[in-house]
Amino acid sequence: MPTKNNFNIPLDKFIDLALYDKEIGYYMNNNPFGKDGDFITAPNLSRLFSEMIAIWIIGFWENLGSPKNFNLVELGAGNGSMMKILIETFKKFPNFIKFCNIIIHEKSPKLIKIQKKELIQEKIIWVSDIKKIKNNPTIFIANEFFDSIAIKQFVKIDKLWFEKYVNIKNKKKPFFLNKKIDMKKFEKKIDYGISKDQNFIEYSLLGAKYLKKIANIIKKNNGGLLIIDYGYPEKKMKNTLKAISNHKYKNILKNIGKSDITYNINFYLFKRIIQKLGGLKNITTTQGDFLVKMGIKKRADIISRNKDFSKKADIYFRLKRLIDEKHMGNLFKVMFIKKQKNNFKLGF
C-alpha cells in the first residue's frame, strides 16, 4: 500500500484495494450477483448449469475410485446458489454425499454471511486458506474465481517494458501511469519467460500462486481442478481489464469500490504454468460444448415437459444464454487439470 509520500501503487494492489479493502472493497460490502446485482453468473442464470457440474463431479469421484473420504472445494462461492443446487443433486446419490467433505473457500465476510444463509441446513466447512484442508483426494471447482483475482499489466514501448500503476493522491481523480521495469528480474521472480513474443502482458501473481497450491494438493492427494471462466486460448496476450456495474462496463478509476473489476483469463498461460509444474495434464473446451456433452439439452427437455408455454420459453431462453456461441457458450472456457495418468474426460 502507498506510503505517505508515495501515492503510486501497482495495478494489482489497486484492484485488490478496490475489491477487497475492509472499508471500501466491492466484494466486502456488496452482493453483486443476480438480477439486482451488477452481473449474472451461470448458476444464477439457470439451475441446469449447476446440475451438469454436479453430475460431472460425481462422475469424476467415481473415476477416482469412489474414495470414502474426499474433499469437494468450491473456490469463491458467490451467493451460494451453485453450491445449493450441487448439494440438492448430490442428495440423490447417498454414498457420494456420505463420503464428501464440502468446503467453501471465500475471502469476503459479506459473501460468507450470504452463503451461510443460503446453505443454512447444510454441513459445510468454510476455509480461508486452502492449504488447511485435510489430506484427502480433492476436487476443486472454480466458476468465475480466477477472473476476480487482481492482475498486473505490463506494456512494451520501444523495446522497454513498463508496469501499469495507479496514482491515488487525489482520491477523486486517480490516474494511470507507467513505470519502467526490469522484466528479466520479474521473470526470474515468477520463474517463467512470460515476455517472449509479447507486447502486452496480464499476469496475476496471486492467481499463479493458487494454481501452484492446488497443483501440489492434486499431486500429493489425487483429485483435479475444474475451471470455468471467460477467457481466450491464444498465446498473444491483450488488454482485457474492465469494470462492471449494473450489467454495464464502467471506467475502472471511477466510483472505486462500487463496481467489479475483472479480466479475461489467458488459458494458454494457465496451460504453460501447469506444464511447468510437471506431473499434471490439462484439457480445455468451451462452456457450450462442455454443457451439451454433459446432456444439458436432454435435461432441459425433461424439466420443461409439463410446463406451460411461458415457463418452457424461459427454460430454453436461459439455456441458449448458457450454450449459444454468441452468448456464454464460446466466451466461457472450461479447463480441467488432473494427474498425468488420469484419462477421465467427461464433458470434453
pLDDT in tens, 216-259: 999 999 999 999 999 999 999 999 999 988 778 888 998 888 88
The contacts of residue 293 (CB under 8 Å, 6+ apart) are: 285, 346, 347, 348
Is the pLDDT at 264 greater than 80, yes or no? yes
- Which of these, 345, 234, 216, lies nearest to 280 by C-alpha position? 216
Average pLDDT over residues 314-329: 92
Domain locations along the chain:
18-149+205-339
**Is residue 191 predicted with pLDDT exceeding 90?**
yes
Average pLDDT, the chain: 92
CATH 3.40.50.12710 fits 18-149+205-339, yes or no: yes
pLDDT confidence tier of residue 2, bands split at 50, 70 and 90:
very low
Mean pLDDT along residues 98-111: 93
